[in-house]
Structure 1
Amino acid sequence: MPELTVTSDSAYVENAFAWARDQALAWVTTDVAQGNLSSYWAGYPSRPMFYSRDVCHQAGGAHLLGLDAENFAMLRHFAASATAVRKWYPVWAFHFDGAVAALDYRGDDDFVREIPAVFDLTWRALEQYDWTGDRRWLDDPDLAAYYLRSVDDFVALHDHDGDGVPEAPGTGDIFAGSATYNEQDADHPLIVAADGIGLQYAALTALAKHHGPAYGERANKLQQEFLSTWWDAGQGRFARGRTADHGLDFGWGLESSWIAPMTGLTGDGVRNEQFLDFVEQQLELSPPKNIEAFSYLPEVFFRHGRDESAWRWIRHLIDSRDDYPEVSFTVVHHLVAGLLGLRPDAAAAALSIDSHLPADIGRLTADHVRVGDWDLRIAQEGRHTTEVTLHSGPGPLTVTVGSAGHHTIEPGGTVRVTTQTKDPS
């Protein structure tokens, strides 16, 4: 398979991509030792392991780098680890040979677990089906069972008040279970967190595509309940979570604040924009202490058209040159899928493109982007022109560029589309 490349009128972007690509590929552990799973490092560089949360977030960049076998092996391994005795939580971390990482696991009822990870795994695995069109993501018995158990059995077991949302013990002890990905807030523990609800919403929405509208209806009900009860008009923000006394906490919650808009839970419109203003303000006043937390921010702002803000945080990740694996993997994803605005549906032979180029970048080209078995070159000039070349593939591919309609490209063909979208000023 030809290697993914990025060219641009910005030497900064080209150098950043080369660094991120090489750094990410250096973390691949598939053939490093006999007995390793197809795998890559996903967690602290000091820990030879792959973590559930990290793999979920690194999978998009990993696909672009040709690491589909690794994504499948690791995400499937987590899915298979979620058993009844573990109360349907997946194990938090594994060594590269597939052995449970004892550092985070003391027993079947005493291991690190965070509610958002349960749903994140379903959402991100089904995203890989969108990228690859590989039926194993739907048909593999361990994955197929996990998807439904994550939103059915897991929720039923941990939803103690019957509102359709699982609760954590609220002790702040991650070995007993946390409601949120925000591990910096153990002194103010939550029983329900907005990032958990957001990822539950994302999992249900993804499942609706493959298991029928009932899952979409559940996602809509979850969102409407959140929008109607978790908003405070006086403060102009959504709550980050619910505390043990069942009161809503409207403070700054890092992941428990920004993952909700990243998944679309907060909807669109005035309230969502007010909340994003709050998130942006707090990121400047009280940023996270760990570099990997920043790796989510471009997704948050790209989703809601705040492209200059997304670019600000991509630059922050790039300039860090941090060796935490999540940084390099997500920089690859942000520079290609994020900036170009790629939304694949390989099974339907379709790709949507919507430029998010900031003012700093006049031209960006990604060559050998893989969508299913199609090999593409995607070039953008500002936000006004997109050119797509289909190097090869099993047949025609339908490409939608912004609001310019659908274009069918045959293998060996090129389409050039000019849109009415203005370049950023």
Structure 2
Amino acid sequence: MRSIVSLIYRIFISAALLGFILFSPAVAQDNGVKFTSSDKKMEQAFVWAKSMALYYKGNAKDPVGPWYESALPPRDAFCMRDVSHQSIGAEVLGLKEENRNMLTLFVNNISASKNWCSYWEINKSGKPAPEDYRNDREFWYNLPANFDVLNASWRLYLWTGDKYYINNPAFVHFQKKTVNDYINAWVLSADSILTRAAHPNAPVPFNESDSFHRCRGLPSYSEGVPNLKTGADLVAALYRGLLTYAAILTEKGRLKEAAVYTHKAEKYQQQLDAEWWDEKDKLYYTYYSNDGHFGKDEGETFLLWFDALKYNARVTQTLTHLSSKTWNVENTSYLPLIFYNKGSWDKARDYIMYLSNETTARREYPEVSFGVIEGIVQGLMGITPDARTHSISTMYKTEHVGTVTISNLPLLNTLINVTHLDTHQSALTNNGKQQLKWKAMFYGGYHHAYANNKATIVRQETDSQGKIISFIEIIVKPGQQVKVSVK
């Protein structure tokens, strides 16, 4: 079924692309976020990605409400994995109402009759996409999805400051069911994930040839691995989901409960390093089969996406292996942000160039353009808001001399402009009505810092790779511009 859909997709997008080429200039002239750079290829990549992503904005008057394409375009639908990945890029582009509506629909539709799954895909008619759903006993569902949506809702809270994502009753219900009932129903506890049955909630009678039976609870995002018991990406998703829930509880002051879920999360991370590492090949296994064997396929991407690896040497080896192969565009669309975050900045830029190149097959898949947007804003420019402290940190991640600017960027209920003049000078303008704290970060051990030419205190820390970072923290008032430099 997936191969047929893929063929339809290629036919569809070939026709749709003509319309995109004809009409994208009008889209690009909106008054939203803008990016300029002395690296003109990077600037062109952003312009293309913005136009392509906004092309997939749905009609808010559709029965489903505000939405954007986040699945194979012929379906007019959005998928849990894709939305979880595209949501920050969407927020950058002003698709706030779309994010809120789609995430709400996912969390609203978990049910006991589906063993606490939601609908894997929802279409513009507000219905579960028939390509993946027949009824509550027969449907397609990838088990990492609940934890991915849980993490995405937390990331959206940190970006926007909108407590709806962590306090709304539907989200609270989803959180509780996911970290308890869902794990129990699908036998996903850390001590049983390698011994669980392949189909613990299979329809009766079970039809192995029916994908809605066989993949009702697929324990991975990798859909082409036969005889699959557990995917490493599922283990990583469980780790990140439980850690995310602990962070939500911490934000609410429920520290003892948070500690319980942090401890549960750590068991999955420890298992990855103890059980899933192949010492001979210096790589992680990506799946465990029903006949008791570890194997390798795709899936490493999610070990890094969910930031589930502890040892830097293994992170480096995983990055090296990922960059040595060509992956489908869905996997590749995660890599710009991953490589920026893990210190491989030139390779991250290479992936943005590859994904935005007109010769790249299937670059029009919606996830690609949103991934490029996030890779530039959070990756290259290092812009990371944190609603917990109403603060924003910035970090220019490049090996090259040059200037980059982003303007009209929405976050934390304000709009900001950020310019990196070079790797030791940045400026931030607060165009909103609320003050915010700015943590201006620079790689290197600098001893002097200036804010609008006035000497200020410079502090130092190290990143996850052990590199020294110098930073200052300063309040930026509404309407104020602050320029920071270090020496």
- Is residue 2:406 matched to residue 1:363? no
- Could you say if the C-alpha distance between residues 267 and 201 of structure 1 is closer, same or farther in structure 2, counting changes exceeding 3 Å? same
Residue 85 of structure 1 deviates from its aligned partner by: 0.6
2:103 — aligned with what?
75
- Could you say if the C-alpha distance between residues 215 and 419 of structure 1 is closer, same or farther in structure 2, counting changes exceeding 3 Å? farther
1:212-223 → structure 2 map (5 Å cutoff): 212-223=258-269
Tell me, in whole angstroms, the C-alpha distance in 1 between the residues paired with 2:412 and 2:89: 15
For the Cα contact (< 8 Å) 1:30–1:70, is it kept in 2? Answer: no
Residue 332 of structure 1 deviates from its aligned partner by: 1.4
1:259 — aligned with what?
302
2:375 to 310, 334, 339: 334
For the Cα contact (< 8 Å) 1:301–1:307, is it kept in 2? Answer: yes
Once the two structures are superposed, residues 19-39 of structure 1 have per-residue CA deviations (whole angstroms, 9 ceiling, x without a partner) of 2112211211133x4534111
1:237 — aligned with what?
283
Q: Percent identity?
A: 27
How many residues align structurally?
408
Partner amino acid, structure 1, of 2:428: V
2:142 — aligned with what?
114
Residue 74 of structure 1 deviates from its aligned partner by: 0.4
2:44 to 15, 23, 34: 15
Q: Could you say what the CA RMSD is over the residues aligned between the two structures, in angstroms?
A: 2.3
Task: Give unmatched runs, 5+ long, in structure 2.
Answer: 1-29, 200-207, 250-257, 443-469
Once the two structures are superposed, residues 181-228 of structure 1 have per-residue CA deviations (whole angstroms, 9 ceiling, x without a partner) of 122x23x34211111111222222222222123222222222122212
Tell me, in whole angstroms, the C-alpha distance in 1 between the residues paired with 2:197 and 2:78: 24
- Is residue 2:329 matched to residue 1:291? yes
Tell me, in whole angstroms, the C-alpha distance in 2 between the residues paired with 1:93 and 1:388: 39
Once the two structures are superposed, residues 353-400 of structure 1 have per-residue CA deviations (whole angstroms, 9 ceiling, x without a partner) of 2222353x7211111112211211111134322211112232333434
Residue 71 of structure 1 deviates from its aligned partner by: 0.4
Tell me, in whole angstroms, the C-alpha distance in 1 between the residues paired with 2:197 and 2:155: 26
For the Cα contact (< 8 Å) 1:115–1:168, is it kept in 2? Answer: no
- Is residue 2:292 matched to residue 1:246? yes
Partner amino acid, structure 1, of 2:424: H
Partner amino acid, structure 1, of 2:108: A
- Could you say if the C-alpha distance between residues 164 and 130 of structure 1 is closer, same or farther in structure 2, counting changes exceeding 3 Å? farther
- Is residue 2:333 matched to residue 1:276? no
- Runs of 4+ residues deviating >6 angstroms: none
User: Which segment is superposed worse, 214-223 or 101-110?
Assistant: 214-223
1:100 — aligned with what?
128
1:414 — aligned with what?
481
SS in 2 for 1:298: helix
SS in 1 for 2:105: helix
Once the two structures are superposed, residues 273-316 of structure 1 have per-residue CA deviations (whole angstroms, 9 ceiling, x without a partner) of 223222222x2xxx22x322210111321221111121111111
For the Cα contact (< 8 Å) 1:155–1:165, is it kept in 2? Answer: no
Once the two structures are superposed, residues 127-170 of structure 1 have per-residue CA deviations (whole angstroms, 9 ceiling, x without a partner) of 00011111111121111111222121111111167616495727
User: Which segment is superposed worse, 264-273 or 371-380?
Assistant: 264-273
If the length of structure 2 is used for normalisation, what is the TM-score? 0.79
SS in 2 for 1:177: strand
1:143 to 159, 171, 180: 171
Residue 269 of structure 1 deviates from its aligned partner by: 2.0
If the length of structure 1 is used for normalisation, what is the TM-score? 0.90
For the Cα contact (< 8 Å) 2:430–2:481, is it kept in 1? Answer: yes
Tell me, in whole angstroms, the C-alpha distance in 1 between the residues paired with 2:228 and 2:145: 16
- Could you say if the C-alpha distance between residues 79 and 272 of structure 1 is closer, same or farther in structure 2, counting changes exceeding 3 Å? same
Larger Rg: 2
1:325 — aligned with what?
366
1:423 — aligned with what?
none
2:243 — aligned with what?
205
SS in 1 for 2:113: coil
Tell me, in whole angstroms, the C-alpha distance in 2 between the residues paired with 1:162 and 1:297: 28
